Amino acid sequence: TRINQKPGAAVMHPGTTETAPKAISEGNGTDAQGNTYAAASTLMKATLHYEGNSNFTLIITNTSGDTSNPTPFSPGVWAISYIAGGKLINSNPLFEAGKPSANGMTNIAEMGDNSVLGNYINTQTGIFTPLSPVLVVLYKGIENPIYKTGENDRGKGLKDLAQKGDASGLATYLKTLAGVKAVYILPAASSTVLLPKIGAQAGSSVSQQLSVASGDRIAIASMYGLSNDWFFATKDNGIDATVKGDVSYSIGLFDNGTAINQFPGAGNEQAGLGGTPATERKPVIEVPNPNGFTTLPSISSMIKVTIN
C-alpha cells in the first residue's frame, strides 16, 4: 500500500502511497525497491511451550538488535483455526500472500495499529463443533430411554455415541425396549456429520417426519463432535411430541463420564481429532458452564430443535 523506504530509523511515516495497490508479498531478502532485509527468523524468535491440559504459551522475542535491521515490533494479532475433516477451516485467517491487504492489515503494516484486524478476528472467533448424526427416539409410558443423570453409562451404546458419534449400537438396543415406538438416525445429506455455520455457509440440518399421538415423547442425542464424551440430548423426560415450535430450550449438554475430558476442540485424545479417549467411569452429568476449560455459548446458539 506504500512505496518502501530503506528500513531504519529515518523512515518517514506514513510514506508515499503506491500508485496502484499491490498484493501482499513476502520479502525474501529484498523488496520491490531493492532494499535489503535480514531474514525474518533472525529478527523475531517465536517459542511455543506446552503447559499441559491443552494449553500452550507462545513467547515472542525481538532479536533484531544485533542484525542489520534493528526494529521495534508493534502489538500484533493472533488466531487459532479449527480443524474439521483433517483440514484447517481457515488456513489464512489474517492475510494471504498474493492478495490485497484487507480487514485491517494495512493499519498494522503502516501504523502498528492492531485494533481493526483484532476486532475483525474477534467477529470470526467462537466455539466450533460438528454434531454427529442425530439419534431420534419416539417413546411412550417410560422414562427417557437414552440416559439418566446421576447414573453411570448403561453399556447399551451411549458411550459410542458420546465418544465416537456412532449411534448404531444404541439405536439397535432401543428398538428392543417396550415403550419405544420408533428410532431414527439422521445424518446430514452431504457431510454425514452436521457442520456448524461457517461464515456465510449455513449450518447443516436434518429432519424426520413422525407419526405421534397424545402421550408420546421425543428424545434426541448427538455427540458434541470435538469433545471426549460430551453429547447434546433432551433433558429429563424428553419433549412432548404434540407441541409445536422451537423446543431448543429442552436440550442440554451432558458429560457421559466414560472418557477423561480435555479442552473442547483441542484434545489429542478426542476421536474427532484422531485420538483415542482415555477411560474413566463417572456418572452422567450436565456439563457446567463455564467449565474447567472454557465458557460455552448458550445451548440454543449451538443447536436448534423445532417441531412443525
**pLDDT tens, 46-70?**
999 999 888 899 999 999 999 999 9
**In a 3-state reduction of DSSP, which class is residue 50?**
strand
90 with 191, same domain: the answer is: no
* Residues 129/264, Cβ–Cβ less than 8 Å: yes
- The total number of structural domains that make up the chain: 2
Give me the pLDDT at residue 85, please. Answer: 63
139 with 188, same domain: the answer is: yes
Three cell numbers, residue 71: 526494529
Backbone phi, psi, residue 256, to 5°: -70, -15
Average pLDDT of span 137-142: 98
CA 167 to chain CA centroid, nearest Å: 22
213 with 277, same domain: the answer is: yes
* Residues 204/145, Cβ–Cβ less than 8 Å: no
Task: Indicate whether 48 belongs to any domain.
Answer: no
**Residue recorded with cell 440440518:** 205
Name the band, by pLDDT with cuts 50, 70 and 90, for residue 173.
very high
pTM confidence score: 0.83
Of 125, 160, 184, the position where a domain reaches its end is 125
Average pLDDT of span 180-208: 92
Give me the pLDDT at residue 200, please. Answer: 76
167 with 203, same domain: the answer is: yes
- CB under 8 Å to 176, separation ≥6 — which residues? none
In this predicted structure, the answer to whether residue 97 has a pLDDT above a threshold of 90 is: yes
If residue 251 lies in a helix (H) or strand (E), which one and from where to where?
strand 251-255
Q: Which letter does DSSP use for residue 198 in this model?
A: B
**Bond into 290 cis (ω within 30):** yes
Range of the domain at 32: 1-37+74-125
